[in-house]
Amino acid sequence: MPVIIVGADTTYGAGLVEALCAAGTEVRAFVTDPDTAGALRRLGAKVAIGDLTDASHVGGAALNAFSAVLMTEAATDDRERSFADTFDAVLASWAEAVSEAKITRVILVTSSGTDPGPLLGATPEFVAVEPGEAAIASVVAANEAAEV
């Protein structure tokens, strides 16, 4: 089943795309930087380019995926965000997107202590991991039977 990585144009996001594609997983990479799309496509990912704060953009790209890996670095870096101007607003947008897309599992890659807010309860399964544990996220994202 497909996995979508929102913020695949971040350092850890690109690494996850590479690891999941190498393992034969169907990967959708959501980016805001069109310059990164070619490299991700060469890895085997399907790439969507859009505003990661627009729930309709993220939700459309995530439709029928099993897992969503959400890179909070993409919610706090210097990229343009048209529909949400705070971290909490980005999380609310992502919660709406994954809920409407019927995602089963969300893996939030974030610093410890981050309040996932509206993401809790947006999907049947939720786990937060720190960026240094990104390899764990790739395993959890790809393994439908994994206990979270």
- What is the pLDDT at residue 146? 44
Distance CA 82, CA 6 (A): 16
* Burial label, 96 (beta-carbon count in 10 A; 0-12, 13-18, 19+): middle
Residue 54, token pair as written in the block: 């627009």
115-138 residue pLDDT tens = 888 888 888 888 888 877 656 666
- What is the pLDDT at residue 39? 96
Maximum Cα–Cα distance across the chain: 36
- What is the pLDDT at residue 6? 96
Q: Which amino acid is at 4?
A: I
Distance CA 96, CA 54 (A): 10
Residue 77, token pair as written in the block: 């870096």
Q: What is the mean pLDDT of residues 99-117?
A: 87
- What is the pLDDT at residue 40? 97
- What is the pLDDT at residue 74? 83
19-75 residue pLDDT tens = 899 989 999 999 999 999 999 999 999 999 999 889 999 999 999 999 999 998 887
Contact 61, 69 (CB under 8 A): no
DSSP summary character for residue 122: T
- What is the pLDDT at residue 1? 82
The b/e string for 32-61 (b: 16+ C-beta within 10 A; e otherwise) is beeebbeebeebbbebbbbbbbbbebbbeb
Structural domains of the chain ordered from first start = 3-142 (3.40.50.720)
Strands (E), 1-148: 3-6, 27-31, 46-49, 67-71, 105-109, 125-129
Distance CA 61, CA 94 (A): 12
- What is the pLDDT at residue 49? 95
